Homo-oligomer: A and B are copies of this chain.
Amino acid sequence: MVRTADRFRESGIRMLTGHCVEQIDPAAQKVTGSGPGRPFQIPYDRLLIATGAAPIRPQKPGFDLPGVVVVKTLEDARAVKTYLQQKAVRKALIIGMGYVAMEMTEALRFRHVDVAMVKPGARLLPWLDARLADRVREELTAHQVELHTGFSVDRIEHGGDRLQVIGTDGQKLAVDMVIVAVGVRPNSALAAQAGLELGPAQSIAVDRWMCTSDRLIYAAGDCADAYHVVTGKKAWIPLALRANRSGWAVADHLCGRPVSLQGVAGTGVFRLFELEVARTGLIAIEAERAGFEPAAVTITARSRGHAQSGSAQVLAHLIGDKRSGRLLGAQVVGREGAALRINAAAVALHAGMTVEQFSQCDLAYAPPFGPTWDPLLVAANQLLKKLG
């Protein structure tokens, strides 16, 4: 941080840390807020809102107890580490079963902490095809992770040295620590107060140049929405690459090089112990909502050519539109090669390829890296039969 601050100072950029903007006045083109000890106001020609997203902390009893944490910042992570050591945590409960929940589960198990996970819904990773989600469940149970789907947290209480997590059905779980990973929401309150148009999930609506509904105000990063390249409609999928890219786009735009961003394909990936889990594009229910008529297949293949040692099962799921033949989404789960394989499908979505066009792509083959037909191509060939 010091070096970044130095570079900013050298460039003539004022970094006003400790200054909290409380209001944007688009008509007067200024922001007002409180600095160290006194209020401030700053006029602007152009304004960028890059307020990010914040983890959701439910307003329920006990979520403010010591040992009940959210993970967002480096400081959060350090606090978790300190707490683990100081309290000699033997068991942690993770509320939520999304990306962050999975990554925290892995991190805790690596430290030999017992982990239980809870979520209100019945399905683990409902955005994942059922067979792929089953594979994730196997990986979790193989690593002694307790899964409590259908568990809705009512409150958290002190219980001796431990924390008692109490479900709405009265079920109790005794743990030493609770990590709340139930998603994030965009920090868009300032934008909303300023009358800027909001998008999905109350994110800040931006056009392809990252301009908000006020053309002098940009928004970029996890606070802003994006066009989805498959549906053409707005989506809020706060992930690092888009956040980063949208910041660059604002800089380009300000510097007179208007880069129009295509948008997101919804590509996401995480590692869970030995497993790689990847998705891009739409799932069936999203496809239906967007007006497509989806058909899907799930196939099993191998990560390497036959007779290659170290080969592992790869599950590939592909979804296409019956009417247009277009590829709508892909998912891959496996011990190796799942994460990077998804990129081929992501590019196909950006290109608006049909399943047939994708099925014909000249993907890499050598025995150490896959079968002659890449698992995604096998899935495409099978999906073609369903699309007719």
Contacts and interface: CB of A to CB of B under 8 A. Distances in A.
B369 A269 contact: yes
B362 A358 contact: no
Main secondary structure of the interface of A (DSSP, over half): mixed
A263 B360 CA distance: 8
Given A240-B372, A357-B350, A369-B271, A278 B339 contact: no
A379 to B, nearest CB: 14
Interface in A271-286: 271, 276, 278, 280
Interface stretch (A122-130, A141-149, A241-249): A241-249
Contact of A365 (B269, B345, B369, B374): B269
Given A347-B347, A373-B241, A261 B340 contact: no
B364 A269 contact: yes
Given A347-B348, A348-B347, A368 B271 contact: yes
A372 B244 contact: yes
A29 interface: no
Interface in A153-189: none
A340 B364 contact: yes
Given A343-B341, A343-B343, A361-B350, A366 B269 contact: yes
A365 B271 contact: no
Contacts of A120: none
Contacts of A361: 265, 343, 346-347, 350
B229 A267 contact: no
A270 B362 CA distance: 15
Given A343-B343, A351-B347, A374-B343, A241 B362 contact: yes
A280 B364 contact: yes
B346 A364 contact: yes
19 contacts: A99-B366, A229-B362, A240-B365, A241-B377, A245-B360, A261-B360, A264-B362, A265-B361, A267-B362, A267-B363, A267-B365, A271-B366, A271-B368, A271-B369, A278-B364, A337-B340, A343-B363, A345-B347, A350-B360
